[in-house]
Amino acid sequence: MTFKNILVVNVNWLGDVIFSTPVFRALKEKYPEVRIACMAVPRVCEVLKFVPFVDEVIPLDEDAMKWRPWQWIFFSHKISSYKFDAVFLLHGSKTRAFLMKWAGIPVRVGYERKGRGKFLTHPIKSQSGKIHRSDFYMEVIRSFGVEVKNDRNILTVPEQGRERVCLLLNDSGVDEHKSFIVLHVCGNWDLKVWSEQNFTLLIRRLMNDFKMQVVIPGGKNDLPRINRIVASLEIKPAILAGQTDLQQLIHLLSMAQIVISSDSGPLHVANSVGTKVVGIFGPTRPEITGPRGTGQAVILQKDVGCNREPCYYLDCPDNVCVKALSVEDVCCAVRQIQNS
């Protein structure tokens, strides 16, 4: 079967988008002359620019369209105008599957779930939730006969942005020519995030015992938490929260000797540009959402019983799974990486 234009309908979260990166490499290897577009929600469109083999990113602002049903008609016409030969749906939405059929794409491949099989030409039996998310996405193209020769998650480091990061580091007292550690101390899900007190103690250990420079990135909304973490420290780490865009953050993570983070987007970004990482895992399972990039990864997780399967109990009163990991556990992981 010959294709000229292929669309991939991607998922909604940064980490999951990174898990999807082998799909694009495999499609380009199978169809070297094809043009590959990727449709995704705006919050992940920027990172898709750094995914190898994605030729075009098509934003789908479903929040804006939610209250304007007629916009779906216009969007369908837009998709139709691309003359896509095939679409691979990594996203499980029934609406998206219907949209692809409405747009007239002749080959539509995706999981048969939520009654959306009638909108697909090649429905796939839904996979077990116990496989890694990256394997879950790769199975969509494998089911169509596309071989995946390289299953590592890979992002390209952008050409622009390094100079700005070096200036920010220098202004914060960090010598970019010497080793530094990046701590991602926040997250979009509180139950996955280590305590402020532990991060305070860890920073003190890293700067005093390991003699390491420490850099804390993040968004402007993260500053209150970050300021509480560093308030009692005699020697302050470099705080770059609110000062970098995604392009610059990728550079920062690629320059770090080690990145320490919970199971979140920055952990997977760092590992996918080849940086060594320490992953702090609590309620989620590394077999399902652990780093799959090219960098070395040390995963920390304690078996507390309730986290032997992925736990999504958002009202958990104890958060014992994350609390079980100590500062010494993380320091041991840092030593392991430094000695490897």
Instruction: For residues 53 and 111, give the distance between their C-alpha atoms in angstroms, rounded to a whole number.
Output: 23
- Strands 258-262 and 238-239 come out as unpaired
User: Are 30 and 155 within 8 A, CB to CB?
Assistant: no
Decide: helix, strand or coil at residue 112. Answer: strand
Residue 188's pLDDT is: 81
Range of the domain at 303: 162-338
Instruction: Please give the full DSSP string across 268-307, using - where no structure is assigned.
Output: HHHHHTT-EEEEE-SSS-HHHHS--SSS-EEEE----STT
Q: Kindly state whether residue 100 falls inside one of the protein's structural domains.
A: yes
Tell me the two tokens of residue 292: 């799959």
Whether 179 and 307 share a structural domain: yes
pLDDT of residue 126: 84
Residue carrying structure tokens 């990727």: 38
**pLDDT given for residue 27 in this prediction:** 98
| Beta carbons of 303 and 248 less than 8 angstroms apart | no
Is 149 within a domain?
Answer: no
Looking at the structure, tell me whether residues 72 and 101 fall in a common domain: yes
The number of domains in the chain is: 2
CB 277 within 8 A of CB 256: no
Residue 309 lies in a domain: yes
Residue at which a domain ends, from 112, 142, 172: 142
Domain final residue, candidates 114, 142, 170: 142
Q: Do 43 and 167 fall within a single domain?
A: no
Same domain, 113 and 246: no
Q: What are the tokens at 208?
A: 């005093």
Question: Is residue 153 included in any domain, yes or no?
Answer: no
315 pLDDT band (50/70/90 cuts)?
Answer: confident
What are the tokens at 225?
A: 């938490």
The pLDDT score that the predictor gives to residue 64 is 79
> What is the average per-residue pLDDT within 219-233?
97
Which pTM does this prediction carry?
A: 0.94
C-beta separation of 68 from 90 below 8 A:
no
Both 195 and 118 in a single domain?
Answer: no
pLDDT of residue 2: 86
Same domain, yes or no: 50 and 180: no
Q: With bands split at pLDDT 50, 70 and 90, how would you rate the model's confidence at 189? A: confident
Does residue 306 share a domain with residue 201? yes
Report the CATH number that the domain containing residue 61 is assigned in CATH. Answer: 3.40.50.2000
Residues 61 and 98 both lie in one domain: yes
What CA–CA distance (Å, rounded) separates 165 from 227? 21
Give the SS3 label for residue 248: helix
The verdict on residue 318 lying in a domain is yes
166 and 239 part of one domain: yes
Backbone angles phi, psi at 300, to 5 degrees: -110, 125
Whether 150 is covered by a domain: the verdict is no
Residue 35 domain-assigned (yes or no) = yes
Q: What percent of the chain has pLDDT over 90?
A: 89
Percent of the chain at pLDDT exceeding 70: 100
Length of the chain: 340
Torsion-angle region of residue 305: left (phi > 0), alpha (psi -120 to 50) or beta? left
The answer to whether residues 184 and 278 belong to one domain is yes
Task: Name the one residue in this structure whose structure tokens are 């890979």.
Answer: 154
Q: How many CB atoms lie within 10 A of CB 300?
A: 19
How far is 85 from 92, CA to CA, in rounded Å? 20
pLDDT for position 67: 73
- Is there a single domain that holds both residue 187 and residue 313? yes
Span 121-129, average pLDDT: 87
Banded pLDDT at 71 (limits 50, 70, 90): confident
Question: Which of 142, 174, 191 delimits the end of a domain?
Answer: 142
**Mean pLDDT across the chain:** 95
- Whether the pLDDT of residue 66 is over 80: the answer is no
3-state secondary structure of 244: coil
80 shares its domain with 124: yes
